[in-house]
Amino acid sequence: MSRIGNNPINIPAGVNVTFENGVITVKGKLGELKQEIDAINVKIEGNIITVERASEEKEVKSKHGLYRALIFNMIEGVSNGWKKELELVGVGYRASNQDQKLELALGFSHNIVMLIADEVKVETVSDKGKNPIIKLSSNDKQLVGQVAAKIRSYRKPEPYKGKGVKYVGEQLRKKAGKTA
């Protein structure tokens, strides 16, 4: 039994949700998102959405909580948006952006240039004496997480000094170095 799937979803003011032909569409002040849904029944009554299983098969049970979480994330995204912040820790590590083009200097022989999807807003902050920060925001939670993970994959934080690209607020497990 899915505990998450049984929870109802409240629709905030200013958000419009429709479910037609197996596609749920969520519109809000920050944009519009669509998601295909199969094997699950979605009921919209007033400002409450309930997600119910069509049958008790194993595949349907496994999708119950998934689709409820996806719908909730879509509603949250079009009303408030999703944000991720990455911090570049290391000497000489820099980040700059021009529109959707992000340029990273991460200690390689060349700079890394990334073209970010138009749905994701990119902002870089470089204050003197502080580590550079990359701010990503969008209404699509999956897309923001994927872009952030891609940027982090270029130089993951290493366990001895903590140098690399890390999420703001991430706690790193540091290892002790060699002892003489």
Torsion, Cα 44 48 54 60, to 10 degrees, reads: 120
Choose which CATH entry (3.30.930.10, 2.40.30.10, 3.40.50.720, 3.90.930.12) describes domain 82-167. Answer: 3.90.930.12
Task: Please check the confidence at residue 1 and state whether its pLDDT lies above 60.
Answer: no
Taking the CA atoms of the chain, what radius of gyration do you get in angstroms? 21
* 145 backbone dihedrals φ, ψ, rounded to 5°: -65, -40
Task: Please check the confidence at residue 148 and state whether its pLDDT lies above 80.
Answer: yes
| C-alpha closest to that of 151 among 140, 137, 167 | 167
Q: Which residues, 6 or more positions from 176, have their beta carbon under 8 angstroms from its beta carbon? A: none
In DSSP terms, 167 is beta-bridged to: 86
- Laid out side by side, the sheet with 101-105 consists of 94-98, 101-105, 112-115
pLDDT tens for each residue of 109-139? 999 999 999 999 999 999 999 999 999 999 9
CATH 3.90.930.12 residue spans of the chain: 3-79, 82-167
Q: Which CATH architecture has domain 3-79?
A: Alpha-Beta Complex (3.90)
pLDDT tens for each residue of 24-35? 999 999 999 999
Q: What is the mean pLDDT of the chain?
A: 93
Predicted local distance difference test score (pLDDT) of residue 9: 94
Q: Is 109 buried (19+), middle (13-18) or exposed (0-12) by CB count in 10 A? A: exposed
pLDDT tens for each residue of 96-109? 999 999 999 999 99
